[in-house]
Amino acid sequence: MVDHDSRAVRHIHDELHSHLPAEPALRVKALESLLIEKGLVDPRTVDAWVEGYSEEIGPKRGARMVARAWVDPAFRELLLSDAAEAAAQFGFDGTGISHLTAHENTDDVHHLVVCTLCSCYPQGVLGIPPTWYKMAAYRARAVREPRGVLEEFGVRLSDEVEVQVWDSTAELRHMVVPQRPADTEGWSEERLAKLVTRNSMIGTDRDLSRMVKEAT
């Protein structure tokens, strides 16, 4: 039974800190051995999760949704009104997309997603979040100086563009729909999807025209 006693858990953390090996790889190896021996983990299931989230479940999923929104006005409408349903139409499932919401960039508005309290991220459509998304600097700075953060990512916004930061404090998950770059008229959905970067769906990338140049 969980006792929900914060002080007890804090004390356990001290014990763990004193007794566990310092090297993360060793700590995790010992934990896996233990959980297998206790019958709590099947290592083949761990393999399945690692493989699934290394390739199949990743930002290519989100990119396909964005590309479809660029070519199909009805899908765009659905994505912006009920992104969870839009993901379900692709057959996408996975962690954190039961309450997915999508925010569309425009000439006047740029969206940026963060989780200041932990590391919430729409994994079912964007995969495993980058380490920087989960660590202190981004979480501290994104809500206070988003323009400075964006500059580090090479995104320079004019003063006229409004930044809207989405702090993922509940079980809603947020993704950004970047703008379709110019000179892509007539491109297939599949070709367009290759232009959509992971960072553009977090909001730390904006102008995808360099991707068009790379693709042509």
Partner 1 sequence: MDGIHDLGGLQGFGRIDVDEPEEAFHAPWEGRMFGMARCMARPADWNIDWFRHCRELIDPADYLTRPYYDQWMQAYSAMLVNSGVATVEEIATGKSTYRPKKVPPAPPPESFRTGRAGYTRYDRPGAADPAFRPGDIVRTKAHGIPGHTRLPRYVRGHRGVIVASHGPHVFPDAHAVGEDRAEPLYTVGFAASDLWPEVTHRDRVFLDLWESYLDRE
Q: Please, which residue, 37 or 185, has the CB nearer to partner 1?
A: 37
Catalytic residue among 120, 168, 188, 209: 120
Smallest distance, partner 1 to C-beta of residue 132, A: 5
Catalytic residue among 18, 118, 168, 188: 118
Smallest distance, partner 1 to C-beta of residue 32, A: 6
Catalytic residue among 119, 168, 200, 209: 119
Smallest distance, partner 1 to C-beta of residue 22, A: 10
Smallest distance, partner 1 to C-beta of residue 80, A: 12
Q: Give the H/E segment covering residue 24.
A: helix 24-37
Q: Please, which residue, 76 or 198, has the CB nearer to partner 1?
A: 198
Phi, then psi, of 163 in degrees rounded to 5: -95, 130
Residue 66's nearest CA partner among 213, 199, 215, 216 is 199
Q: Please, which residue, 117 or 182, has the CB nearer to partner 1?
A: 117
* Calpha distance 167→151 (Å, rounded): 19
Tell me the one-letter amino acid at 108: D
Phi, then psi, of 100 in degrees rounded to 5: -80, 140
- Please indicate whether residue 188 is annotated as part of the active site: no
Helical spans, DSSP H, in 100-197:
123-126, 131-134, 136-141, 146-152, 189-193
Q: Please, which residue, 58 or 71, has the CB nearer to partner 1?
A: 58
Chain centre distance of CA 59 = 8
- Please indicate whether residue 18 is annotated as part of the active site: no
- Please indicate whether residue 98 is annotated as part of the active site: no
Q: Which residues contact 157 (CB under 8 A, 6 or more apart)?
A: 110, 147, 150, 163, 206
Q: Please, which residue, 84 or 192, has the CB nearer to partner 1?
A: 84
Q: What is the CA radius of gyration of the chain?
A: 20
Smallest distance, partner 1 to C-beta of residue 73, A: 22
Tell me the one-letter amino acid at 182: A
As annotated, the active-site residues are 115, 118-120
